[in-house]
Amino acid sequence: GAGVSQSPSNKVTEKGKDVELRCDPISGHTALYWYRQRLGQGLEFLIYFQGNSAPDKSGLPSDRFSAERTGESVSTLTIQRTQQEDSAVYLCASSDGQFYGYTFGSGTRLTVV
């Protein structure tokens, strides 16, 4: 596609349930990032994938959070046993790794009730 696609755009889930968020990066972009933005706060780095290298998971806030990426395509961010503090907009971005330009998806707004 022309841009970074994220799904779902909105997700409401009950506390304790697992959720899976999906990101389709721009074709050919080797780098993929997940960020989180809580209401009224700035962007927080979660995890970064670059090609076939081991991902940088240093931003994941707890072991309830995990992410996978198949090759240089789709990535899924999974949050297990969701808590209310997980409520945020989860943003995905991709870049071609050469010109350092980023393209962001429109985000998934997660609400844990």
Contacts of 8 (CB under 8 A, 6+ apart): 21, 22, 108
By CB under 8 A, tell whether 59 contacts other proteins.
Answer: yes
Q: 19-53 burial by CB neighbour count: b if 16+ within 10 A, else e?
A: bebebbbbeebbbbbbbbeeeeeeeeebbbbbeee
Which one of 42, 52, 63, 70 is in contact with other proteins (CB under 8 A)? 42
To other proteins, the closest distance from the beta carbon of 49 in angstroms equals 10
| CB closer to other proteins out of 14 and 58 | 58
With CB under 8 A, what is the number of residues at the site for other proteins? 27
Block residue for tokens 């990066």: 25
Residue 75 or 95: which CB sits closer to other proteins?
95
For the chain, how many residues are written? 113
CA 74/CA 66 separation, integer angstroms: 14
Does residue 11 touch other proteins according to CB under 8 A?
no
Interface residue list for other proteins (CB under 8 A): 31, 33, 37, 41-45, 48, 50, 56, 58-59, 89, 91, 93, 95, 97, 99-104, 106-107, 109
